Structure 1
Amino acid sequence: MRRIVFGATALAAALLASTAFAADPIKIGRVVHMTGPAAGGDAASHSPNVELWVSQVNGRGGLMVGGERRPVELVEYDDKSNPAEMIKAVQRLATQDEVDFMLTPWGTGFNAAAAPIFAKYGYPQISVTNITDEIEELSERFPNMFFTLGNTTGFVEGLRDTLNKLRDNGAIGNKVAMVNVADAFGIELAAVAREVLPAAGYEIVFDKSYPLGTADLSPVVKGAKATEPDAFIAFSYPPDTFALTEQAIIENLDVGAFYTAVATAFPAYAGKFGSKIEGNLGAGGVNLDLEPMTEYRTAFNALHGNQPEYWAAATYYASLQVLEQAIEGADSTDREAVTEYIKANSFDTALGTISFDKHNESKHYWTVGQWHDGQFNAVAGVGVPVAVEPVAKEGWN
């Protein structure tokens, strides 16, 4: 493990260098997937938003606690996308570095693995990139754990509703090829889909799971193509989202609906495939017309010189806003007090005003987005306005 201590990001470091902070810093720990198969997801959805948030907080002089502003100091470790290394790093942050708060890791499985340590030491765990139908059970077991990106059934139902619209318009038939990464995320989504899709009249003609980190996914795409599906669905993580799309182009997989999950919303996805992904569906999406979203994306672009990804990035940034407002609202770095404040209050964020009902912010999230004219807009969601209606995929250009 490599320990990296930041007073802030490169931008905020300059601010710190020119500003004399008399108050003790608030130490915030974070385990980062800097390398390994989860690095792409972390780099797109988490890290740039941490940099944005820290630069904003320290640019204001820090968090207001006890009548004084206290700067944020980050302590980070690279876990190499290894769950065992992640657990050791979280434990070290809590016991050796004694950080005041911790940010949650990227990924459903990583959040589940970290939860016992967060709970043991009383850290509020505002998880974002963590989709599960076990929210109620996990909340009872870990009363400091919060969920912000929705549940598994909601995402599958959003996908079903999107397919229904395409089917009603005559764009697709009932035959679905489905694949999933053999991780907690993909396994749970596929299990729900096996119930939800047939109940809606779809026939799953191909159903294949593949290990996390699989390098060659051409057999998967070839197998799916052989079944002549109307729709292709992949509950995938970033490396396989890219690999599956590349193989679909090579094989000229002719479907009216092509869906991949995590990383479909990444600008890098459009950067690699260009116009070939016109009409591609994927997990997430955002409504670019909402004012808080516009403000967030403008600030992100001002710092990084590019746009954030179109799904979990805004929600992760919103989770940092929740932590900030809870610390200042509780006027304390006492973790129990901050946790109770999160449970009892609402927060103004990039997603609008959000609050937690039994630890779950399940009232506002987008489930499916679609690439059109260089943007990934939401076409389905729960309790949020969508930007556009879905259209059929028409070839790979």
Structure 2
Amino acid sequence: MKKSWLWFLLVAALGLAQAQTVTIGLTVSKTGKYNVESVNQLNGIKLWQDWVNGQGGILVGGKRYKVELKYYDDESKAQRVQQLYSRLISQDKVDFLISPYSSGLTAKAAIISEQYGKVMVATGAASDSIFKLGYENVFQIYTPASRYLTSTIDMLKAADPNLKKIAVVYEDSKFAKAVATAARDYAQKAGFDVVLFEGYPPSTTDFGPIINKIKASGAGALVGGGHYADGATFARQLYEQQAPLKMIALLVAPASDEFAQLGDAALGVAAPSQWEPLVKYTPDFGPTPQEFTEMYQKAYGKTPAYRAAGGFAAGLVLQKAMMEAGSLDGAKVRAALDAMDLTLFFGKIKFSTDADSHGLQLGHEMVQIQWQKKNGQMVKEIVWPLDAKTADLIYPIR
């Protein structure tokens, strides 16, 4: 009888240990304009959840915590983001937050995160401006927008020192405008004449008038874009109207595998990428780039884009901070994030601790990809920086 009672207590104790969870809240654009990118990001986050739970959970202060995700569809709408993040914190009682996809939505979520003093890891959000407001609880995974296209300009100058005229055409959204403005300023300092600097509404589907302006400007190269839907349409129409450009580099869209569906319209189009499966980072923590890629391919049947990698990286960063803090206490985890300086499969991660830029990503750097054709198939190649390239840059593309 005594043995039976002891066995019951042991089973009960094990049950309590197994029941311990850490809950992470976020919103996802299951519908709306950010659907493709946001679902990719969620796939990466869910893969991290499966990976860490498959190892028994996160070891925090001698205890194991299984990861539970709580998320809602924000419909790509800023108003819903604020409502839902308030709900995640006040009603669902989540322990930590991961941002929605896009800088615009993340800016709204950051207000709520800061209001409640809840740590949020921001992935899929590159705008610098979010991190210029004195927030203490928001930490950026991506390379900031101010450095998004600077390496593209460096690549163009190296490819053609004689090229002078370029066009910067961008989606009039928080993220894309910030990137484009920084690219324009950097290009001018590099000696380029920015002959066209123009935004277009996010809902644009007919780029004919803008393409006519590009042609009339005499620009030899185009940089800009915004998100997937507009970028893919823009690239297709540039090809159909045979815009005489030696190089096209667009944000977001060309970095997605789906971009290959454009066929010849994708050929030669370049993009800055936060991460690619071919990178050779040696991580201090978590899986290697190859291991992550193989896990993702097994789970989803396709090669991961950088949004998925950013989602997984956000989970790793939270996991490592909890482990280093030895606690789920928000202040202790925040201090661990402030002190973080490590390399993941995604690249280097280090956050600014300056009061005027707290949480801004300092460590991570971009790579440049370009769509090329090999054996009749469209493939992405890394073409910059030179010490990381997997193929030479196709230049000019026309």
Same fold (TM over 0.5): yes
Matched to 1:282, the amino acid is A
* Matching residue within 85, 98, 106 for 2:101: 106
Amino acid at match of 2:84: A
Give the secondary structure class of the aligned counterpart of 1:247. Answer: helix
State the match for 1:334 in structure 2. 329
Selected match of 1:119 from 114, 117, 125: 114
Q: Partner amino acid for 2:62? A: G
Q: Secondary structure of 1:216's match? A: coil
Change (3 A) 1:202 1:347: closer
Q: CA deviation at 1:80?
A: 0.7
Which residue number in structure 2 is paired with residue 233 of structure 1? 223
The residue that corresponds to 1:261 in the other structure is 251
Alpha carbons 1:370, 1:377 under 8 Å: kept: yes
Q: How does 1:233-382 map to 2 (within 5 A)?
A: 233-270=223-260, 272-284=261-273, 286=276, 288-290=278-280, 292-309=288-305, 311-352=306-347, 354-358=349-353, 359-372=359-372, 373=374, 374-380=378-384
In structure 2, relative to structure 1, the CA distance for the partners of 1:207 and 1:345 (3 Å cut) is: closer
- Unmatched tracts of structure 2, length 5 or more: 1-14, 283-287, 354-358
Alpha carbons of structure 1 residues 187 and 306: separation in structure 2 relative to 1, 3 Å = same
Report the CA distance shift for 1:136/1:127 in structure 2 as closer, same or farther (over 3 A): closer
CA distance in 2, matches of 1:240, 1:110: 18
Given that 1:181 and 1:210 are in contact with CA atoms closer than 8 Å, whether structure 2 keeps it comes out as yes
**Equivalent position SS for 1:164:** helix
Provide the secondary structure at the position in 2 that maps to 1:40.
helix
String of CA shifts for 1:229-269, please: whole Å, max 9, x gaps: 21122231111011101111211222110111012100011
Q: What CA distance in whole angstroms lies between the structure 2 residues aligned with 1:161 and 1:347?
A: 27
| Equivalent in 16, 23, 29 of residue 19 of structure 2 | 23
AA of the residue aligned to 2:193? E
Aligned residues: 368
Greater shift in the superposed pair: 31-40 or 276-285: 276-285
- 1:73 Cα shift? 1.7
Give the equivalent residue in structure 1 for 2:153. Answer: 160
Deviations 1:242-299 (A, max 9, x none): 11011112112221101110121000111x1234423211121536141522222111
Paired with 2:157 and 2:348, the residues of 1 have a C-alpha distance of 30
> How far, CA to CA, are the matches of 2:259 and 2:233 in structure 1?
11
- Indicate how the Cα distance of structure 1 residues 177 and 111 shifts in structure 2: closer, same or farther if over 3 A, else same: same
Displacement of 1:387 in angstroms is: 4.4
Farther-moved stretch of structure 1 (152-161 vs 249-258) = 152-161
SS at match of 1:92: helix
User: How far apart in 2 are the matches of 1:109 and 1:135?
Assistant: 9
Using structure 2 for the length normalisation, give the TM-score. Answer: 0.85
Equivalent residue for 1:16?
none
Percentage of identical aligned residues: 26
| Matched residue SS, 1:333 | coil
Residues 349 and 362, structure 2, Cα contact 8 Å, conserved in 1: no
- The residue that corresponds to 2:43 in the other structure is 48
CA drift of 1:393 comes to 4.1
Which of 83, 108, 123 pairs up with 2:78?
83
Q: State the AA in 1 paired with 2:235.
A: T
Computing the radius of gyration over CA atoms, which structure comes out larger, 1 or 2?
A: 2
Residue 208 (structure 1) aligned to one of 198, 203, 216: 198
Structure 1 unmatched ranges of 5 or more: 1-18
State whether residues 147 and 360 of structure 1, in contact with CA within 8 Å, keep that contact through their aligned partners in structure 2: yes
State the shift of 1:109 in Å. Answer: 1.4
